[in-house]
């Protein structure tokens, strides 16, 4: 795929012409990162803005007892990191690739040059930062106060918003509820690590959700399908 087309999928660059995107290519080098790689951590001195061109990245913090608390899962088009005094809500966090991913970075000076030339990009960045901070706060509240059931429901809800694709499979004809296929493959163990829980608990809950008509299972390594209305109803009723 043409690199400019990759860039056009990044939230920050939406609305730019192909000519403008091509001028960005020299300052946005592509790096192919293998699955399971930690690409950012609080211990890294240089603060960068990371752009996800393809693949999936998990952002998480470590608790005092060493447990991982996932703050977000990002896909193609999303960005994270720190630039100067700005952060996308991912400061003091770790970023790990959940699959082979294509990532590019922009350093502080490059970003300053970009927004000097294109002030509208600064406004777009502020919008993205504000939205991300709201999402992180909401996730932390659920992790701190919600039951494992509610935390898993909330995680599936957030994943369906970012990675949900309308399922092409009809359940029985006209009037059937809409289903979304999650376009991200996560094992029960990976979901558990996002919740600070264990695989057995997640497996038990996924079976419960399937019986309640909230999800459809298609194998441990394949993506889940979500019924969004049932999911929202269960989330509102959960404690």
Provide the token pair at 101: 């991913």
Which pLDDT tens digit goes with each residue over 178-227?
899 998 878 888 888 788 789 999 999 999 999 999 998 765 456 789 99
Task: Provide φ and ψ at 166, rounded to 5°.
Answer: -55, 130
- Count of residues for the chain? 239
Task: Provide φ and ψ at 104, rounded to 5°.
Answer: -125, 160
Which pLDDT tens digit goes with each residue over 27-61?
677 789 999 999 988 888 777 888 898 899 988 88
If we measure between CA atoms, which residue out of 82, 195, 88, 74 comes closest to residue 139? 195
Residue linked to tokens 């264990």? 198
- Give the pLDDT band of residue 73 (cuts 50, 70, 90): confident
Q: What percent of the chain has pLDDT over 70?
A: 85
* Gyration radius of the chain's alpha carbons: 19
In order of 9, 59, 96, 157, 190, the CA distances from 151 in angstroms are: 30, 16, 21, 10, 14
**The domain at 146-237 falls in which architecture?**
Orthogonal Bundle (1.10)
How much is the pLDDT for 110? 81
Per-residue buried b or exposed e for 181-190, using 16+ beta carbons within 10 Å of the residue's own CB: bbebbbebeb
Mean pLDDT of 148-167: 90
Q: Provide the 8-state DSSP code for 176.
A: P
pTM across the whole model: 0.73
Instruction: Give the range among 14-28, 65-79, 188-202 with minimum mean pLDDT.
Output: 14-28
Which pLDDT tens digit goes with each residue over 84-123?
555 555 567 899 998 899 998 888 788 888 788 878 777 8
Q: Please determine whether the domains at 3-143 and 146-237 fall in the same fold group of CATH.
A: no
Range 3-143 has CATH code 2.60.120.10: yes
Domain ranges for the chain:
3-143, 146-237
How much is the pLDDT for 179? 92
Mean pLDDT, rounded, of the chain:
80
Stretch (H or E) spanning 63: none
How much is the pLDDT for 86? 54
- Indicate whether 237 pLDDT > 80: yes
Provide the token pair at 90: 């991912």
Strand partners, 30: 104
How much is the pLDDT for 87? 56
How much is the pLDDT for 96? 93
How much is the pLDDT for 38? 93
In the chain, DSSP assigns E strands to 30-33, 38-40, 49-54, 57-62, 68-74, 79-83, 86-87, 94-97, 101-106, 164-166, 180-182, 215-216, 225-226
How much is the pLDDT for 2? 58
Please, are residues 193 and 134 in contact by the beta-carbon 8 Å criterion? no
Mean pLDDT of 153-180: 78
């Amino acid at each position: 795929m043409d690199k400019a087309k990759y860039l056009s999928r990044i939230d920050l660059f939406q609305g730019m012409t192909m000519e403008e995107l091509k001028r960005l290519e020299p300052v946005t080098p592509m790096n192919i990162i293998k699955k399971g790689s930690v690409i950012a951590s609080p211990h890294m001195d240089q603060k960068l803005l990371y752009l996800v061109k393809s693949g999936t990245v998990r952002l998480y913090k470590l608790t005092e007892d060493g447990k991982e608390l996932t703050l977000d899962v990002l896909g193609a088009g999303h960005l994270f990191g720190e630039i100067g005094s700005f952060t996308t809500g991912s400061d003091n966090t770790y970023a790990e690739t959940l699959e082979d991913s294509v990532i590019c970075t922009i350093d502080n000076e490059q970003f300053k040059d970009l927004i000097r030339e294109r002030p509208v990009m600064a406004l777009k960045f502020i919008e993205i930062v504000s939205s991300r901070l709201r999402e992180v706060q909401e996730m932390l509240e659920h992790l701190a106060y919600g039951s494992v059931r509610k935390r898993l429901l909330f995680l599936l809800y957030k994943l369906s918003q970012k990675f949900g694709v309308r399922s092409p499979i009809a359940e029985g004809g006209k009037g059937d509820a809409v289903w979304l296929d999650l376009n991200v493959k996560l094992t029960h163990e990976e979901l558990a690590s996002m919740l600070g829980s264990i695989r057995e608990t997640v497996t038990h809950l996924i079976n419960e959700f399937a019986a309640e008509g909230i999800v459809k299972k298609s194998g441990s390594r394949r993506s889940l399908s979500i019924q969004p209305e049932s999911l929202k109803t269960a989330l509102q009723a959960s404690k």
